[in-house]
């Protein structure tokens, strides 16, 4: 087997650092001796030609980049099993073009996305552009499409001219199989760039993407995908990876600002991030930018949430990026864990932060047309748990909520269960007006918000412009797969 044909080199690690990781022994021999590797290598595995760009973790980008040209982003995403490197070995994953995370798609407001999803995964799947404020109908961000194994489907998505810039992402949305396919590695970022990206402080910063994901590290599909009724009830968790790597180390400089785009791409896991000795300055949340940088000590991200932050290193040294203890209800607390290390070189201090970021339309004084109540509940225990919205399991042939286009509504989401459930609505972002047990919510545009166990949130949602039928659901994907999802139609 030719060395350059090993798909594991496509995953996020440049060849030099992988060889270094293998300790200078003849790498070919070691790789050839990996049983998981040899049994899974096949000639039809996606192979990146020798010399094509593979991002190094030290520059902070997780994967290949696909950019729009002249208003068009033409992308081919091939979903297939493969072996990928994660820093200290190789593992089985469901890859996107041989990688996980998949390539980052870069586009601008007004662009057209033409995305061919080539499904070689072995199962039916589809594609959702989480957070994009685009049509959910036809060949666009339509979660009701099924792409059978062995077939390809071309998505055609228009990003409106007035679409905000920010950090979005793609992942599968084929009902009953979302958790396992995402857990296995099928996801990637979508970046919409606008004037904020050109602000001198932002454009001059070191650009870093931190994609948090957890999976089971295993050599076969069944080792990674197999689960238990209990794990599905709680929401499956695994070993945490950053940009597909186990505890990566990043090189940084004290004389540069950093701009991070952070995504929680885990199926269930919550993170509460802290960087030793640093604060974070939030410039954007899920669905849009803030008016000005907001200083926080920690960043809590529930599944599906994104945040853009500026980071100022005040001095050189080695700093741990940790996830602090965090609980999501009755299942206990995840302990503190180290996710990555930043090695910051001495020499000069970072430039100042920008005073303002973007224009922000605050909905707190807007009077909603109506207030709707939505109840997330669980019934039963252990293997037999049922996950319900307004007492019902998901049914794609039913419309649960009808909304008139052009109106603004308040939604009060009540969680009557002893477990947290992150609420997510496709297409139409909202502002959080109240959130129990969380203090005053940040004035920000969101598309995911945690609804605490036995708690509630009040959201204000403008249903402007876009019409069509789509879904809202719990973003603990095992709960979504179990039926904690409902259909909304805006017309
Ligand atoms: Cu991340 Cu229904 O989506
Ligand atoms: Cu979504
Ligand atoms: Cu849930």
Of residues 176, 130, 177, the one with CA closest to residue 157: 130
How is residue 491 annotated by DSSP? -
Residue nearest atom 1 in ligand 1 by C-alpha distance: 130
Residue nearest to atom 3 of ligand 1 (CA): 130
Residue with tokens 């996606």: 46
Cα distances (Å, whole numbers) of residue 90 to 214, 220, 340, 373, 412: 15, 11, 19, 47, 45
Burial class (CB in 10 A: 0-12, 13-18, 19+), 355: exposed
Token code pair at residue 203: 């454009």
Instruction: Work out the average pLDDT over 255-277.
Output: 97
Q: How far is the CA of 425 from the centre of ligand 2 (A)?
A: 6
- Range with lowest mean pLDDT among 53-62, 118-127, 174-183: 53-62
Whose tokens are 């001059």? That residue is 204
Cα 344 to Cα 201: distance, rounded to the nearest angstrom: 19
The first and second tokens of residue 150, run together, are 């062995």
Q: Which atom of ligand 1 is nearest to the CA of 304?
A: 1
Helix (H, G, I), strand (E, B) or coil at 10: helix
Share of the chain above pLDDT 90, in %: 82
**Mean pLDDT confidence for 350-371:** 95
Which residue in 185, 79, 156, 81 sits closest to 125, CA to CA?
79
Q: What is the pTM of this model?
A: 0.88
What pLDDT score was predicted for residue 225? 93
CA–centroid distance, 170 to ligand 3, in Å, is 20
Residue that the structure tokens 């599905």 belong to: 232
Helix and strand numbers (H, E) in the chain are: 9, 33
pLDDT at 412 over 50: yes
Can you tell me which atom of ligand 1 is nearest the CA of 485?
A: 2
- Residue 31 has what pLDDT? 30
Average pLDDT over residues 469-487: 98
pLDDT at 116: 98
CA of 126 to the centre of ligand 3 (A): 21
In ligand 1, the atom with minimum distance to the C-alpha of 473 is 2
Averaged pLDDT score across all residues of the chain: 88
- In the reported structure, the alpha carbon of residue 283 is separated from the centroid of ligand 2 by a whole-number distance in angstroms of 21
Q: What element of type H or E holds 179?
A: helix 178-183
What single string gives the DSSP state of each residue in 366-395? Answer: PPPSEEEEEEEEEES-GGG-EEEETTB---
pLDDT tier for residue 350 given thresholds of 50, 70 and 90: confident
């Amino acid at each position: 087997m030719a060395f350059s044909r090993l798909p594991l080199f496509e995953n996020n690690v440049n060849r030099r650092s992988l060889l270094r990781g293998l300790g200078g022994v003849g790498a070919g021999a070691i790789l050839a001796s990996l049983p998981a590797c040899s049994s899974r290598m096949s000639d039809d595995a996606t192979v990146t030609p020798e010399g094509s760009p593979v991002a190094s973790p030290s520059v902070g980008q997780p994967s290949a980049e696909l950019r729009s040209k002249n208003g068009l982003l033409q992308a081919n995403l091939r979903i297939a099993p493969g072996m990928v490197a994660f820093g200290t070995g190789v593992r089985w994953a469901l890859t996107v073009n041989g990688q996980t995370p998949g390539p980052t798609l870069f586009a601008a407001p007004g662009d057209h996305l033409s995305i061919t999803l080539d499904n070689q995964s072995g199962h039916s799947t589809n594609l959702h552009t989480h957070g994009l404020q685009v049509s959910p109908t036809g060949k666009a961000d339509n979660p009701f499409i099924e792409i059978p194994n062995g077939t390809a489907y071309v998505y055609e998505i228009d990003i409106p001219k007035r679409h905000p810039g920010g950090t979005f992402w793609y992942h599968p949305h084929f009902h009953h199989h979302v958790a396992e396919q995402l857990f296995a590695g099928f996801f990637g970022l979508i970046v919409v760039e606008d004037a904020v990206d050109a602000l001198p402080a932002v454009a001059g910063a070191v650009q870093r993407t931190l994609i948090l994901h957890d999976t089971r590290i295993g050599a076969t599909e069944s080792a990674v995908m197999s689960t238990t009724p209990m794990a599905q009830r709680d929401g499956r968790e695994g070993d945490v990876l950053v940009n597909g790597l186990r505890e990566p180390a990043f090189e940084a400089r004290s004389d540069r600002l950093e701009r991070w785009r952070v995504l929680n791409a885990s199926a269930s896991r919550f993170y509460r991030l802290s960087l030793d000795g640093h604060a974070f300055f939030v410039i954007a949340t899920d669905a849009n930018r803030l008016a000005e940088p907001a200083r926080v000590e920690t960043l809590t991200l529930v599944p599906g949430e994104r945040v853009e932050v500026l980071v100022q290193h005040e001095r050189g040294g080695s700093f741990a990026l940790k996830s602090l203890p965090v609980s999501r209800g009755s299942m206990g607390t995840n302990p503190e864990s180290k996710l990555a290390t930043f090695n910051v070189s001495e020499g000069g201090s970072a430039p100042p932060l920008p005073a303002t970021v973007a224009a922000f339309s605050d909905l707190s004084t807007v009077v909603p047309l109506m207030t709707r109540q939505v109840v997330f509940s669980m019934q039963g225990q252990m293997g037999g748990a049922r996950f319900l919205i307004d007492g019902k399991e998901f049914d794609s042939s039913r419309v649960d909520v009808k909304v008139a286009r052009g109106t603004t509504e308040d939604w009060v989401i009540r969680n009557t269960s002893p477990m947290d459930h992150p609420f997510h609505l496709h297409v139409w972002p909202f502002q959080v007006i109240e959130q129990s047990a969380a203090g005053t919510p940040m004035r920000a545009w969101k598309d995911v918000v945690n609804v605490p166990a036995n708690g509630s949130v009040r959201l204000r949602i403008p249903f402007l412009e876009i019409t069509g039928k789509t879904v809202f659901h719990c973003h603990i994907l095992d709960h979504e797969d179990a039926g904690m999802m409902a259909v909304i139609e805006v017309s």
